[in-house]
Structure 1
Amino acid sequence: MDIDLLSKMVRELILVHDRVALPGLGIFVADTVPASFSDKGYTINPPYRKLSFRQGADDDGLLADLYASENSVSREIASAVISDFLSGMREVLEKKKNMVFPGLGRLRATKENNFFFVADEDLDIYPDGFGLAPVSLKTHQETKEEVSSALDVLKDMIVEPVDDSAEPAEPEDDAVEPEDTAAEENAGTPAEEACQADVQADASDDTEDADAGESSSSAAADDIPGPDTDSVPDDAAETGDAGKSVDEHVKTADSPSAGGLHAGKRKVLYGVLIVLAAAVLMLVLYMVVARIFPEAVDSLLYSPDEYELLHTPDE
């Protein structure tokens, strides 16, 4: 029996049991610690089992049973071998204050010989948490598998299956529309031809009337002797120029311009000024009449009873 074999047996038993006793020394206890947060909530720590040691004299017989089965000895012999080894280990622990359990940690003693256990940092005695590791929310990066699976889910959500057997109804509507437009064009053609025929007939009548008028005017002009061009005075040309200037003035007067708009605004402004002047004049006239004929004004403003009270001298 040596410390390596003892550590191996304790490890095998603690994976299955929550307690493993060292007779005459104490008990190894495995407590399950749930998942927790650290680093101000930015790191998620998975659950694990924490191994500790409690000093005492309990004996559950697990070590003796395992040693007896592996070495093919009786349970009594196994218990005696384990007890002798643990008693010697206790003496060494009280002297050196430190005993190493390979693969588990260190069992130490205080000055008062109180025993406590310090587990190794990489100790893993939680089979259900195999493969779990702390996750940092600061540095977590998605793997290619996670990205591809997320993209597949998005594609399934966006792309919807299309039924190829369904026939679109739009081509039928498009085929009907040309027939309707052709019918409308055919229906509108006779009406347009009739209108064009009427217009041509009216134009021919007007042309005949104009030709007749020109022939009659030309005959009358032949009967009347023409004026002598040499006897026409130069004033006629000036008269024609004056007539053209008058016509242009009339056209410019008829056409709306900015000057007309300004003239309208001026008329409105003049009207407002006239009303204000009349009001001021009426006010001045009222003040003059009130000063010259105060009794007449009082008779208009007050009733007969009030007028008598105003003009009755105080006794």
Structure 2
Amino acid sequence: MAVIEARDLRKDFTIRRRTGRFRREKRVVPAVDGLDLTVEAGEMLGYIGPNGAGKSTTLKMFTGVLYPSAGYVRVCGFEPVPQRVAMARRIGVVFGQRSQLWWDLPLGDSFDLLRHIYRVPAGDHAARLARCRRLLDLDGFIDQPVRQLSLGQRMRGELTAALLHGPSVLFLDEPTIGLDVVSKQAVRGFLADLGAAGDTTLVLTTHDLADIERLCRRLVVVDAGRIVHDGTLDDLHSRYGSQRRVVVDLDEPVEVEPQVTGAVLEATESGGRRLTYALSGPPGPLLAALAGTGRLRDVAFVEPEIEDVVAKLYTTGTSRASGRS
């Protein structure tokens, strides 16, 4: 069953630019340009692209914040803007720049107010809150005013607030941006468990490919308001040649660097104590070979920037188009 359906969805913005002392030029800029997308119940969808690609505009149309300029869109069977109030009971939203928590109230009071706003039965609310308190470790700060919480604590509160009414779809816009490592792990682990349960559809926009890799089985890449890739992250990397890199620190240089399929040595630094490999396969065989030398000290993975991935995607697409003409 599809929980999100969009066909030929568009959103245009009108920009006025001064062209003279008393004259202005009007220009229409498409932020979303003919989007076709279907998301099935229980999917975990990564919706990514460079800055200005139309990601946030799409989510705002899906959640009823913006009215489409043209096209068809339904979320949980509702038309988002005209039926926004009814749809709000079926969706949850976590936008980094907007909060649904009351700044001066204790976090727990915000949760209680949201129960009344969404008219959630007390038993259902208590069960969901207990689960979030356990999995997101809220007990240490649930009685503190929201304004006193750290960014990581506040994000865990936002996730809880978005889920207490039992939404069918959860929209997340950059949920781990600015978080420390511990908070990122907590948020990612919680969302992974939520998605694995299959009761909630997740739609995630982010610039952090680690979020996508950890959480999303399906990846949609947009640029200039259009979908340019719909598949898995592995499909994207294999199709356009973008590669992860692994930086390995050794106690002492190895006499002969291991030769492993799917790993190409790109750089040697610090007298052979730091090695950088480009990966086209799983990292396990390379790390096992290096660990077998007894000199492995530390390992760090470097993910390709999503802007670089999309740039390579479009460079490849342009070359193919030129070849056909």
TM-score scaled by structure 1?
A: 0.18
Larger Rg computed on CA atoms:
1
Which one has a larger percent helix, Structure 1 or Structure 2? 1
Which one has a larger percent strand, Structure 1 or Structure 2? 2
TM-score scaled by structure 2?
A: 0.18
Larger RCO (CA within 8 A; separation ≥ 6): 2
